[in-house]
């Protein structure tokens, strides 16, 4: 059974650009959640996807969007990047409303 994987490991973008982060969920899991963790803070919930539909959203603007695919993998897209978007982005997969398993994260730096 493979765990949750994320790509890329880290990347650097400039303000105004767009970025796509990817997550492969653990085998048998149908739900993917995304979190943003700024330096020195706890992770903050961005949104959750279940069966390819957004299932819940935290306090993040619409320029944060996502997708979930039939194989339950997921993407997080961020448009019009701002300096404050610099953070570790964590993906977690689970079976419906059961324990979430986290991936290693993607470190995004916005210059």
Partner 1 sequence: KQEVTQIPAALSVPEGENLVLNCSFTDSAIYNLQWFRQDPGKGLTSLLLIQSSQREQTSGRLNASLDKSSGRSTLYIAASQPGDSATYLCAVPLTQGGSEKLVFGKGTKLTVNP
* 20/37 Cα distance (integer angstroms): 17
Q: Tell me which of 36, 103, 108, 110 binds partner 1, using CB under 8 A.
A: 103
Least Å distance between CB 16 and partner 1?
25
- Select from 17-25, 48-56, 59-67, 69-77 the region that touches partner 1 (CB under 8 A): 48-56
Sheet holding 19-24, edge to edge: 5-7, 19-24, 74-78, 64-68
**Residue 92 · residue 29 · CB < 8 Å:** no
Instruction: Tell me: does residue 104 bind partner 1 (CB under 8 A).
Output: yes
Closer residue to partner 1 in complex, CB, 75/104: 104
- Mask 2-31, x = binds partner 1 (CB under 8 A)? ----x-------------------------
Q: Work out the burial of residue 22: count CB atoms within 10 Å of its CB; fewer than 13 is exposed, 13-18 middle, 19 or more buried.
A: middle
Could you tell me the sign of the dihedral formed by the alpha carbons of 25, 30, 36, 39, in that order?
Answer: negative
25 token code pair: 């969920």
- Select from 11-19, 20-28, 44-52, 73-81 the region that touches partner 1 (CB under 8 A): 44-52
**Binding stretches for partner 1 (CB under 8 A):** 6, 33, 35, 40-45, 48, 50, 55-56, 58, 88, 90, 92, 97, 99-105, 107
């Amino acid at each position: 059974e493979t765990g949750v994987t994320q790509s890329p490991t880290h990347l650097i973008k400039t303000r105004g650009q767009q970025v796509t982060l990817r997550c492969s969920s653990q085998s048998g899991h149908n739900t993917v959640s995304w979190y943003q963790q700024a330096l020195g803070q706890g992770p903050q919930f961005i949104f959750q996807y279940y069966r390819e539909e957004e299932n819940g959203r935290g306090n993040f603007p619409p320029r944060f969007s996502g997708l979930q695919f039939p194989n339950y993998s997921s993407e997080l897209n961020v448009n019009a990047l701002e300096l404050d978007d610099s953070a570790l982005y964590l993906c977690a997969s689970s079976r419906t409303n059961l324990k979430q398993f986290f991936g290693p994260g993607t470190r995004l730096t916005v210059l």
